[in-house]
Amino acid sequence: MAALSESPTLVLARWAVQTQWADVPEAARQAARRSWLNWWGCALGGAADPQVDRLVAALLALGAAGSAPLLGRRERLDVPSAALVHAFASNILDYDDTHWATAIHPAGPVASAVVAWAAAHPCTGADALLAFLVGMEIECAVGLAVSPAHYAKGWHITASCGVFGAAAAVGRLMRLDPTKMVWALGHAATQASGLVASLGSSAKSLNIAHAARNGLLAAQYACAGLSASTVVLEDRFGFGALMGDEGFALGPLPAANSPWQVEENRFKPFPCGFLLHPTLQACQALVQAHGVLASDAVAQIRLRVAPLAATRANRPQPADGMAAKLSLQHAVAIMLLEGQAGVSRFTDEAVELSQALRAKVQVLSDDRLGQQEAAVEVLLHQGAPLHARHHPAPGQEHPSLDDAGLALKFHDLLAHGAPHCAADGLLERLRATEQLADVRVLVDLTLS
């Protein structure tokens, strides 16, 4: 093999290959455990979604049947297709994790590829969890190196950067050396894609699904000896130049005594796009102060949000529950009508319920508001206007769930999408992933 020059691509590849569990501080380990648990809940919560049924049927029609199990389901597909379905299911409810500095949902592409590969190969829980952590760090490092221009241009960053994380994680499990890990990143880069224009449709979840599958394939190609560019991230015609703004600006990678990006991962309190969360929190505060509202009592609702939220989520007529997950108008209406916004409030039925009040919502872009702020004013037919604003305190800008909240979320998601699973037993095993001799124990507990 030709010698590799020192480059950002090689630096990332070496880090992915050489990092050991002993290098990871306890805060990052615990953050990885929490991200792992959240992903399993999301994947199982979406496992029975009608969109997943359609995806599995399409794959089977194309000859994707195989021996790899699907979490929460009875069908079996080939390994890359299993990774694709896992990622699709874990994102379909829009309840996944968020790395706020990049807007990446880190766990989806990486865990989906790791679990699909581990279900077909002997793999300890400790190896799977470390590969998962390494993959998330790699995709966030790539995302940071091209942010904020990459997302602002309209690339769906979870997909376009998640493919690197999936490739690194599976490459790690395959024991790739640095040269082959560089090739895995190269194969990932040339498959990196996903458009923000897909948001609000099933193609959005397919973006992330393709990242998981393509990352796994990238690692397999490298393992088989198929070469790729060794400077794919920083080359004149590479990922950074074409999909960023000013090339590829790789920052410091985490070490034993430095912060890890996984520690910045947050877990959604609502199953919808994170741009809707400040609005939901403002409306939740209004309901707590005044109670739920009837649609016929309301004359008009004025919602003020940050410009990015107005640009991406001003969707007055969502076609269905999936589109409602990115509709500010639906978020306002359903919270004011129901006083809550769980999984059952972003369905086709909920879209019908919100229609009358949704039509009264005016979304206003306000550049004085930060991305984590929102203000709502409700004009009633009788009585004084009602006001509420979400303005997080310093250090609390990004909402997340604590361990108790994650456990409740896990149980709610399994009740929604995988009621056949023994949630308590699976939760206990997931919390002890590092002690498992084989990750397939976890997979087997989910099968229907």
pLDDT in tens, 294-348: 999 999 999 999 999 999 999 999 999 989 999 999 999 999 999 999 888 999 9
Which residue carries 């029609």 as its tokens? Answer: 61
Give the other-Cβ count within 10 Å of 119's Cβ: 24
Q: Among positive and negative, which fits the CA dihedral 99, 105, 108, 109?
A: negative
Write phi, then psi, for 129 (nearest 5 degrees): -70, -40
CA–CA gap between residue 108 and residue 100 (Å, rounded): 15
Which CATH code fits 8-268+400-444? 1.10.4100.10
Closest CA to 326 of 335, 338, 344, 313: 313
Average pLDDT, the chain: 95
Closest CA to 181 of 54, 10, 407: 10
Cis peptide preceding 148, ω within 30 of 0: yes
CA–CA gap between residue 114 and residue 129 (Å, rounded): 9
Q: Take residue 44 and report the two structure tokens written for it.
A: 């199982």
Q: How many CA atoms lie within 13 A of 361 on its CB side?
A: 31
What does DSSP say about strands 374-380 and 298-305: parallel, antiparallel, or unpaired? Answer: antiparallel
Domain boundaries, the chain: 8-268+400-444, 274-390
How does DSSP assign 65-77, residue by residue? Answer: EEEEE-TTSS-EE
Write phi, then psi, for 406 (nearest 5 degrees): -65, -40
Q: Take residue 16 and report the two structure tokens written for it.
A: 């992915």
Q: In a 3-state reduction of DSSP, which class is residue 175?
A: coil
Architecture of domain 274-390: 2-Layer Sandwich (3.30)
- Decide: 295 and 356 in contact? Cβ < 8 Å: yes
Cα distances (Å, whole numbers) of residue 419 to 114, 384, 414: 24, 45, 6
What does DSSP say about strands 76-77 and 97-99: parallel, antiparallel, or unpaired? Answer: unpaired
Per-residue pLDDT tens digits of the chain, which is 448 residues long: 344 447 999 999 999 999 999 999 999 999 999 999 999 999 999 999 999 999 999 999 999 999 999 999 999 999 999 999 999 999 999 999 999 899 999 999 999 999 999 999 999 999 999 999 999 999 999 999 999 999 989 999 999 999 999 999 999 999 999 999 999 999 999 999 999 999 888 999 999 999 999 999 999 999 999 999 999 999 999 999 999 887 899 999 998 888 999 999 999 989 998 899 999 999 999 999 999 999 999 999 999 999 999 999 999 999 999 899 999 999 999 999 999 998 889 999 999 999 999 999 999 999 999 989 999 999 999 999 999 999 988 777 677 889 999 999 999 999 999 999 999 999 999 999 999 999 999 999 999 7
Q: How many CA atoms lie within 13 A of 414 on its CB side?
A: 24
Helix (H) or strand (E) holding 399: none
How does DSSP assign 256-301, residue by residue? Answer: TTS--GGGGEEE-SSSS-GGGHHHHHHHHHHHHHH----GGGEEEE
What are 355-413's pLDDT values in tens digits? 999 999 999 999 999 989 999 999 999 999 999 999 988 777 677 889 999 999 999 99
